[in-house]
A and B are shown apart, each in its own frame.
Chain A
């Protein structure tokens, strides 16, 4: 089946979870056995037809795949350059790409006999996706979320609670995604025998970056087939936002061996590249180890992790997925950033011209399309991943754009 996590064309990571010098398993000893157990079970599932059959059935009938590849004709005309196609992950059940991974991991959790599910969430999309699949599986679910994120994503907090999950607010440090991951790891270390941690991005210790990527490859596999059907050729450029990097790696990976296809990952530029006011790890980040993986991260000269900022909670994270670090060094993917202001402008532009309200995370990718499309010719093609829908961001955006607090 084309929408299964198949063997990737480029055989990385290696058996230790390394993408070149990046990745690995940098965790406390207590978790090593669980990670190895998970890796082994995932390898078994990959070659198990029954696993793929169940996954594909759920992707089609519950998650809502395939998602459309939509030609944004009016937006293309407005920008006046390359033809822009949008991969509509925003149309999935729960409203973002995150469920591709959550549904795969819950099947693994059941195979492993785990009875309790935990997850971290930033914007709340992964938390909602996890709460959703846990509800469907009838498993206990606890979601860790920074208190700051709970405020800016209040709608998603309510959704998780309706779905039966317990949302635990994290007040440590900056009270955003990084602290939520720390707290989820502490829970996992404590309850590892019966708990599965559904990590939500292509980050953390092996096998997570590989496994999360594989569950999201369906995005790129579909997009590749769809653009060939629509245009009879491959696109010139793929654009996706990069927090941990799950939606980007899902779109990019099936195109990696198509040398004519350029790729751009867009990080959160926040208020601009000023220390502690952005989350663009490839702009002034350094090599280090955080939360299980070796990668580029934002740390000071003493190795302490720095504060980050982004208008979008889902991109507001100090480290980038290890495979992105590898692709960056290989120069296979170009990494750039969009500022808060640029993302908010793209958010409004797509809403008004195409009638699609994108997530603030995805708006960073769209902001890059606004920049580059006019410099390209009208016979060139761009695919932008609209990784999620913007309902959750409406209150936050209204504060910036209309200068008023919405009352629901």
Chain B
């Protein structure tokens, strides 16, 4: 069974909510990313999203833009990140999702990307600028087997479209909780509960909620409404601050553990 599906099956059986962590692969280096992934798993992350850096991340806020920039400068490439996943798989079975934009994987070759990433041990892919409409219209974007295609739903997505996306969703649905780019926010968006309920009425696929969640209170509130909570920029920010320091992994665990505990307390 695909690791993402297995994890949500297990979570549901245990009556627990999931915690999804996002990091930029290759920031500050691929070697440290490997350590970060293992530390996040140890802190209780159920699924880890690895950002595959792109030069023009137009759906990302400044924190993730700068992280992608650092990763590219440090030499991260699609091929090296696939190698990294292969390496992680020798020591960990944590579900891994590649989170990126279309151009890097289009250039790599869409079909080849799916095949290589799945063979390396990736479980899903989320392409921010590939709406399902285009995925079916472009022959070369026919998705290969192996990777779950994680779809986005936004607050602006109309009801009929939610039904359409919900029906063909795989792995989990990523509900973008606010209009805007990635990045921590001081307050939660409104209407999350209603939208998630609407998605859940249209689809059996688990719903993870992200964008703007950065502290345990927010995580707990969102966990009570959805199947999983995604925290990204707040973790990336921490990596930015302590990236090459020997304290990084300790700081990371200290930050992530309370978020996980909050999600698991629901």
Contact = CB atoms under 8 A, between A and B. Distances in A.
Interface of A: 16, 18, 21, 24-34, 172-173, 178, 181-182, 185-186, 189-193, 286-292, 294, 297, 299, 301-305
A28 B138 contact: no
B156 A304 contact: no
Contacts of A32: 131, 133, 154, 156-157, 161
Interface in B35-89: 54-59, 61, 65, 72, 77-79
B181 A189 contact: yes
Given A26-B134, A286-B107, A305-B103, A33 B157 contact: yes
Q: In terms of DSSP, what is the predominant structure of the interface of chain A?
A: mixed
Contacts of A191: 179
B103 A303 contact: yes
A172 B58 CA distance: 12
B149 to A, nearest CB: 13
A160 B236 CA distance: 37
Contact of B55 (A34, A292, A304): A304
B137 interface: yes
Given A26-B129, A291-B56, A303-B107, 17 more contacts: A25-B133, A26-B131, A29-B151, A30-B156, A30-B176, A189-B181, A191-B179, A193-B156, A287-B106, A288-B107, A289-B103, A297-B103, A302-B77, A303-B54, A303-B104, A303-B106, A304-B104
Most buried by A among B57, B129, B180: B129
12 contacts: A16-B137, A21-B138, A24-B134, A30-B152, A30-B155, A182-B57, A189-B58, A189-B181, A290-B103, A297-B103, A303-B108, A304-B104
Contact of B152 (A21, A29, A178, A182): A29
Given A301-B107, A303-B78, A304-B104, A172 B152 contact: no
A192 B102 contact: no
Nearest to B136: A16
B138 A34 contact: no
Contacts of B106: 287-289, 303
A283 to B, nearest CB: 18
B129 A28 contact: yes
Contacts of B248: none
Contact of A291 (B58, B130, B157): B58
Interface string B99-132: 0011111111000000000000000000011110
Contacts of B102: 26, 289
A186 B128 CA distance: 13
Contact of B103 (A24, A25, A193, A299): A299
Contact of A182 (B56, B130, B158): B56
Interface residues of B, number: 41
Interface in B150-194: 151-158, 161, 176, 179-181
A29 B103 contact: no
A29 B154 CA distance: 6
Closest A-B pairs by Cβ, 7 of them: A303-B107, A303-B104, A30-B154, A190-B180, A29-B152, A304-B55, A28-B59
Nearest to A27: B129
Contact of B156 (A34, A288, A290): A34
B112 to A, nearest CB: 13
A189 B183 CA distance: 13
Given A186-B61, A192-B156, A26 B130 contact: yes
A289 B129 contact: yes
A16 B133 contact: yes
B138 A24 contact: yes
Contact of A304 (B72, B133, B153): B72
A221 to B, nearest CB: 31
B58 A29 contact: no
A178 B137 CA distance: 26
B198 to A, nearest CB: 14
A297 B54 CA distance: 14
B179 A190 contact: yes
Most buried by B among A16, A185, A299, A304: A304
Contacts of B105: 303
Contacts of B65: 172
A16 B134 CA distance: 9
B156 to A, nearest CB: 4
Nearest to B155: A30
A27 B137 contact: no
A341 to B, nearest CB: 29
Nearest to B178: A190
A318 to B, nearest CB: 9
A297 B107 CA distance: 11
B181 A294 contact: no
Nearest to A318: B56
Contacts of A290: 56, 103
Contacts of A288: 103, 106-107
B107 A24 contact: no
